[in-house]
Amino acid sequence: MSALDFNLLATLDAVLAEGSVARAAKRMRLSPSAMSRALARLRETTGDPLLVRAGRGLVPTPRALELRERVRQVVQDAEAILRPAEKPDLKRLVRTFTIRTREGFAETFGPGLIARVAKEAPGVRLCFLQKPDKAGMSLRDGTVDLETGVLEKTTSPELHARALFRDRYIGVVRKGHALGKSKVTLSRYTSGKHICVSLQGLDKGPLDEALKAFGLELENAAIVGGFSTALALARASDLIATVPERHTGNLRAGMHSFPLPVPLPEFTVSLLWHPRLDADPAHSWVRGCIRDVCAE
């Protein structure tokens, strides 16, 4: 059996709807002769004359009447499939978006984001997951819809990214700590005991590298895997935590924060997603919500 020409479905729909070769040709933007040839192919394919002469006009055969509504529905469904996705009805949207982030993001930006989403799309739910490693596999395999992070050389080039905000590292101590009573100098800062934050459990970080230029190093009394743990320890001791400023805004409530006495470059926190979701209208909407909340 030869391959079917599905373009004939649109032609058949026009012929059956118009009941006239001339009108069907005009609707399909074809010449009458081209439409006549298409009708001949339809008759051959279906094994039915479809339209027959009755006086000066054409009338549909029983087979044509049987096909008319079915063909109309198939053509409408095909048009819907090939048409760009429409803007979602947010009030009726029911969906869960999974966002993987480092500690502090949900605590700082989550309340505003949840309120924004609940107002616009009450059926949408946000699932925040902790991020124990770099972006990539979870986005690729679809277990995560979005991630936040700093773009690095190891970030998969296939991922799409959009900058959310600039951030910088700051020092944080408990209220009443000696470092909160006067300007924090490099000497005072390095003389204290510190908390090192490392996902991999390493005892050195960017700050330690920066201090090498001054011939100094930190005394790390503890190594933790996240910012919230570091801040919890600093809140209950004399240890010094070094964390991102904007990322940990709410986590640092009631503590004393100060600029680092050693220069560290600012960095950009970005939103990442897989390209297969780029054109999804609902996904695009939630990306916009996250960008807007982070920009406030």
Give 97-121 pLDDT, tens digit per residue.
Answer: 999 998 889 999 999 999 999 999 9
Among 66-75, 130-139, 176-185, top mean pLDDT goes to: 176-185
**Residue 42 contacts residue 50 (beta carbons within 8 Å):** yes
Between residues 64 and 90, which one has the greater pLDDT? 90
Tokens of 154: 């190891």
Whether 134 has a pLDDT exceeding 70, the answer reads no
**Is beta strand 169-173 parallel, antiparallel or unpaired with respect to 240-244?**
antiparallel
CATH superfamily name and code, 169-265? Periplasmic binding protein-like II (3.40.190.10)
Helix axes 62-82, 7-18, angle to 10 degrees: 130
Question: What dihedral angle (degrees, nearest 10) is formed by the CA atoms of 201, 207, 211, 217?
Answer: -30
- How is residue 277 annotated by DSSP? G
Residue 163: the pLDDT is: 95
* 168 CB-contact burial (10 Å; exposed 0-12 / middle 13-18 / buried 19+): middle
CATH superfamily name and code, 95-163+273-295? Periplasmic binding protein-like II (3.40.190.10)
Residue 98: the pLDDT is: 95
Question: What dihedral angle (degrees, nearest 10) is formed by the CA atoms of 131, 136, 137, 140?
Answer: 120
54-68, 220-234, 260-274: range with lowest mean pLDDT? 54-68
51-65, 161-175, 255-269: range with lowest mean pLDDT? 51-65
Whether 1 has a pLDDT exceeding 50, the answer reads no
User: For 152-175, what is the mean pLDDT?
Assistant: 90
Residue 17: the pLDDT is: 85
pTM over 0.75? The answer is: no
Whether 274 has a pLDDT exceeding 80, the answer reads yes
Backbone angles phi, psi at 60, to 5 degrees: -75, 150
User: For 132-138, what is the mean pLDDT?
Assistant: 69
- In the chain, CATH 1.10.10.10 covers 7-82
Residue 6: the pLDDT is: 79
Q: Report how far residue 271's alpha carbon sits from residue 288's, in angstroms, rounded to the nearest whole number.
A: 10
Nearest to 199 by CA among 156, 230, 178, 220: 230
pLDDT, tens digit, for every residue of 166-219?
999 999 999 999 999 999 999 999 999 999 998 776 777 778 888 888 888 888
Whether 83 has a pLDDT exceeding 90, the answer reads no
What class does CATH assign to 7-82?
mainly alpha
Between residues 257 and 103, which one has the greater pLDDT? 257
pLDDT, tens digit, for every residue of 282-294?
999 999 999 999 9
pLDDT confidence tier of residue 152, bands split at 50, 70 and 90 = confident
- In the chain, CATH 3.40.190.10 covers 95-163+273-295, 169-265
**Residue 226 contacts residue 197 (beta carbons within 8 Å):** yes
Q: Report how far residue 286's alpha carbon sits from residue 55's, in angstroms, rounded to the nearest whole number.
A: 61
Q: Long-range contacts made by residues 71-79, C-beta under 8 angstroms, separation at least 24?
A: 71/9, 71/12, 71/13, 71/16, 72/13, 72/16, 72/17, 74/9, 75/9, 75/10, 75/13, 78/6, 78/9
Q: Report how far residue 278's alpha carbon sits from residue 160's, in angstroms, rounded to the nearest whole number.
A: 8
